[in-house]
Amino acid sequence: MVDLFDIRREYTQGRLDETTAANNALTQFHAWFEAQKSLSPDEPTVMTLASCDSVGQPWQRIVLLKSYDEDGFIFFTNYASNKGQHFAENPKASLHFSWLAQERQVQVQGTVSKISREETEAYFHSRPRESQIGACASKQSQPLENRAVLESIVAEFSEQYEGAEIPVPDHWGGYRLSPTRLEFWQGGAARLHDRLEYIHEEGGWTKVRLNP
């Protein structure tokens, strides 16, 4: 057995208090997101997305947050991927942001739904051309014989669409996770962490401190 008992750190950077935290969960999220962005410009959009399959087995993977507002958190993927199949049966999902440079984490729970085709198209066409081709070529999460097969499909699409706008493939697009719960965690000394839970209820958010 590999004993990791000696790996231990204290969390001492900050406090999170229910009297000063925003009353609106998205306002609080925005404040923490901006703080993380200024500290680590490439990483604030990295989030872990959890889905559940038809037998209740949870799955997780990293995806990138592409926008957020009061209505939810938007990310893009292949609708036929493992996660896409899970959401078709069970649209409940969870996001997790690891902002450990500031000794913080944020959890989000809610329900996902596909965004409009217009919203997907607007984002798709803003991506680098190679990424657009990649989205066309990849049967995400399906077995692939070898890398050469994928590269030849990419080459075919590149030739097919040379000099033309690349249409958004039907299997690709955005999801919006509409949040019902957010939790903000700020590490504290001696494991006395600060946790604030926000629950979305008719017309607004309630805010409660949780035990660490």
Ligand X SMILES: Cc1cc2nc3c(=O)[nH]c(=O)nc-3n(C[C@H](O)[C@H](O)[C@H](O)COP(=O)(O)O)c2cc1C
Which of the residues are catalytic? 191
Report the residue number, 12 or 60, with the smaller CB distance to ligand X: 60
Give the per-residue SS3 of 16-81.
CCCCCCCCCHHHHHHHHHHHHHHHCCCCCCEEEEEEECCCCCEEEEEEECCEEECCEEEEEEECCC
Which one of 28, 81, 107, 186 is in contact with ligand X (CB under 6 A)? 81
Smallest CA-to-CA distance from 15 within 78, 91, 90, 102 is with 102
Q: Is 61 in the site for ligand X (CB under 6 A)?
A: yes
Q: Which of these segments, 4-12, 19-27, 75-83, 105-113, binds ligand X (CB under 6 A)?
A: 75-83
In degrees, to the nearest 5, what angle opens at C-alpha 132 toward C-alphas 126 and 138? Answer: 150
Count of helix runs (H) and strand runs (E) in the chain: 5, 9
Q: Which residue, 175 or 184, has its beta carbon nearer to ligand X?
A: 175
Residue 75 contacts ligand X per CB under 6 A:
yes
| Angle, in degrees to the nearest 10, between helices 147-160 and 129-137 | 120
Q: What's phi and psi for 173, nearest 5 deg? A: 175, -170
Q: Is 64 in the site for ligand X (CB under 6 A)?
A: yes
If the CB atoms of residues 16 and 166 are measured against ligand X, the closer one turns out to be 166
CB of 192 to ligand X, least distance (A): 32
How far is it, in rounded angstroms, from Cα 185 to Cα 142? 36
By CB under 6 A, name the one of 35, 46, 50, 52 that touches ligand X.
46
Binding segment toward ligand X, per CB under 6 A, in 20-28, 60-68, 97-105, 118-126 = 60-68
19-27, 62-70, 154-162, 180-188 -> range binding ligand X (CB under 6 A): 62-70
Q: Examine residue 140 and tell whether it contacts ligand X (CB under 6 A).
A: yes
Interface ranges with ligand X (CB under 6 A): 46, 59, 61-64, 75-78, 81-83, 140-141
